[in-house]
Structure 1
Amino acid sequence: MKNLALFILTLLVFVGCNGQDSKPKSINIKPKNNRKMELATIGGGCFWCVESCFNMLKGVESVTSGYSGGHKDNPTYEEVCTGETGHAEVVQIKFDPSIISFSKLLEVFWFLHNPTTLNRQGNDIGTQYRSVIFYHSEQQKQDAEISLKNSEAKQEWEGKYVTEIVPFEKFWAAETYHQGYYNANPTQPYCSAVVGPKIQKFKKHFGALDMLKSE
């Protein structure tokens, strides 16, 4: 009897393991976030001034301060400040074009600096402070050219624009202490006198347009 009972139990287990209930069940796996991010690389004077502002925009994932447009690999801040490396201080912006377009970023760009002063922003003088757009695609080039003409036609700044529109080649991230510099050093003299007022003006203008992330 024990053997018969054991045989019947084994048979039931076998049928259960190979029956309909044993078929693999579908598992609902959420798809990965496949947002297509893009890059924008622009220079509008001291990168401390513009990094914080671009970071506040909806659709912007990250902003990195750095150097582009020069002839020296891995330049240091001190080397760039001499104006001899050919680099401009820039920010590289990683953004979601489904939320904010490249053209919208350029509207912010024109707002944040004076594109009519050659190699100068305020008291910051030198080629490293030049107004420049390093385009990553032909579409960005076209958008930049159109945006410049539109801003100039609206006379958002008085005078002829001197902004360079050139192809992107390389980007070198600036030293760690430059990243998020204003947030870490708001009372530093330059930050309190120059960066802070610019940020307040930016927040007032683009906050009214509902383009800023919620704080």
Structure 2
Amino acid sequence: MGLSETDVAKQIQHMIAFIQQEAAEKVEEIEAKAEEEFNIEKSRLVSQQRIKIIEYYDKKEKQIELQRKIQHSNLANASRLSILKARDDYVQALKEQARKQLTILTQNRVKYIYILVNLITEGIFVLMENDITIRCRQDDYGLVQRLIPDAIQRYKQEFKQNDIKITVDDKNFLADDLAGGIELYAMDGKIKVSNTIEARLAMIFHHMLPDIRRDLFGINQHRISNY
């Protein structure tokens, strides 16, 4: 006995209902899967962005710290240079004060003659040449000429030499604003000895500078720590 139209219709309806149910489940499964993948991707993106933000602010923090250290170092260096300049200015002021005192001293004729003859003699001893030219201030020209024989006599007594010629340059004079002293030349100007008051003061100051700085400013602990 065949199925009636009603039975066929019921079976078809049942099959349609089953297909619809399966389709709905598939849709639900796909939606759930899509939502899961979306949440995973969203979580990944959020995590990725969080890492980027953390890295960005870490980098910023390091840059700020580096800038702070650089600024601190610059300020420390500026302060140190300022202190060094102030100390150097003070030392140079002492040197200038000493120069002025020596200038006053050379105005004492008796003392200046004693200083000048010793400067001439010392210069001759240093050069140890037979032909020497001396330059001096124009105001000292006559005085230097008068002192040369005494200086030559000292030189001859010390080195037992008779042949020595000393000429005072009457065309090229030292600057009038110098405190005094002379310059000696030999071998056509190839050899020079500067025995001006300023040159001797500079030499003495150079040798005494470490002691002067120590007495004025104390021992440099930084230099000690480097040994």
Q: Which has the higher strand share?
A: 1
With structure 2 as the length reference, what TM-score do the two structures score? 0.27
Q: Which has the higher helix share?
A: 2
Structure number with greater CO (CA < 8 Å, separation at least 6) is: 1
With structure 1 as the length reference, what TM-score do the two structures score? 0.29
The structure with the largest alpha-carbon Rg is 2
